[in-house]
Structure 1
């Protein structure tokens, strides 16, 4: 079978599958997670610790485990997910500025193009009879990547982050941002084996050019609408190559991920993460219906 015929057959099979046809994957699907089938390896982002859990940085200590949710609400029962019953729910603590992160930990077998696609929706906890459209500060997603061990001492750990800054201090902003720098490293424990840094700290976010976008946020605090996200990245060059949200394609020519020296035990790392942040003393929720990670290899 020729490559063209093979590509046509693969595309036809994807289009015939309702769960996959809503995505635009690269030729090889690495993982497809529909949370009607369970957690699929997504878990809490636990910070590094050694000897004592209290050695964990405060940013990580606030994190909680993700949940499987039917999106219940008080006025009409359960909303359900995009095309089933369950979505992955990432919920913050009810404290202004609190964050939570869910992560899936993989490794890669080829340094080529990758694409993450997802359908998500965000809401604050519906604890008041008002819209509360500025109660979620932000939500977003990230890669955490490291080159293979063949790179030697010159290798890098690269952490592409993208967030939708929905609101800040009550002001409704609605803008996409990226993060080119992390916080300083801190030693963990006494054996010189573990360090930690909180890469989702509020400092250092940069506006994506033309990144203003008004997302669908329905008229009462319990209604949700699903949003499509897609981020392209090249593991060979460690550069972002594309980003889109719903009908918008954004300029990523100035996008720069966090870059730090390779760490001694994270070779070929390919981690995926989603996060939420609240702007008020109520919980913020990010729901993820499904995630497709694909590659061109």
Structure 2
């Protein structure tokens, strides 16, 4: 049924489409990843306090006007602050009705802010995505599970270009005085593990204002809470050794199905991640 639709035919969804976000239609429920807090905003962990809100963008630039999105005008833009090591993250918050296979597919591109007349191909540190999941409330030994993947583009000016995952997070710390809210910074730059065979060279065009769109796909089983497949452009990666972050279920996050994207800068200039469209689908 998707093949006659030019917007959906670029994807290979599972039988039920749970969400299809084309940002020419608006922001589609995406929001800033705000850190937890209680009593005061000052209780938010610093890693989250630096995050900014996503925005709709026509990919304007100084030398030729606007790129536009892949097939329209607007993409969702994530922009870091102009400080080396800064990151930002945005997400869509959902819950699931069936614990089975899910698939997320999206088209995206990334670049630094074009403040210099040089290629700047090592100015973006990384771009990545994650699911934040929790089993249903009737599950025995419920878990919160967080599969993370990032493309480490550069570190301290060195062009690296490889995929990594994360199987641990920082310590969970209580916030406030009511014993209801906790937080942990699962996007810290530490503890990333190289994905087996994960080296990949992506398309990065010849001047800092040009972009090329990339295809990403990640499959995950909500029943067994394990990765099934990962693809970027023409590459299919082995996820048999992939491990997500796992922790004890939290008391108010049952059936959570959040999907997030993030970007980090490696220099004192803003790094941008643009999402053209996102398709989340499930087996039933």
Q: Same fold (TM over 0.5)?
A: yes
Matched, 1:186 2:173: yes
Other-structure match for 1:60:
48
**Which runs of 5 or more structure 1 residues have no equivalent in the other structure?**
1-12
Q: Give the secondary-structure state (helix, strand or coil) at the position aligned to 2:164.
A: strand
**Which runs of 5 or more structure 2 residues have no equivalent in the other structure?**
none
Other-structure match for 1:37:
25
The structure with the greater share of residues assigned to helix is: 1
Query: What's the TM-score, normalizing by structure 2?
Result: 1.00
Deviation at 1:289, TM superposition (A): 0.1
Deviation at 1:151, TM superposition (A): 1.4
Q: Give the secondary-structure state (helix, strand or coil) at the position aligned to 1:25.
A: coil
Q: Which residues in structure 2 correspond to 1:196-275 (within 5 Å)?
A: 196-275=183-262
Other-structure match for 2:106:
118
- Alpha carbon RMSD of aligned pairs, Å? 0.5
Give the distance between the partners of 1:114 and 1:185, measured in 2 at CA. 27
Other-structure match for 2:66:
78
Give the distance between the partners of 1:280 and 1:260, measured in 2 at CA. 33
Other-structure match for 1:103:
91
Residue 139 of structure 1, aligned match among 127, 130, 133:
127
Give the distance between the partners of 2:279 and 2:236, measured in 1 at CA. 18
The structure 1 segments of at least 4 consecutive aligned residues displaced by more than 4 Å after TM superposition are none
Residue 287 of structure 1, aligned match among 250, 268, 274:
274
Query: What's the TM-score, normalizing by structure 1?
Result: 0.95
Matched, 1:130 2:118: yes
Other-structure match for 1:49:
37
Give the distance between the partners of 1:22 and 1:29, measured in 2 at CA. 14
Give the distance between the partners of 1:184 and 1:50, measured in 2 at CA. 18
Q: Give the secondary-structure state (helix, strand or coil) at the position aligned to 2:24.
A: helix
- What is the aligned residue count? 284
Q: Give the secondary-structure state (helix, strand or coil) at the position aligned to 1:15.
A: coil
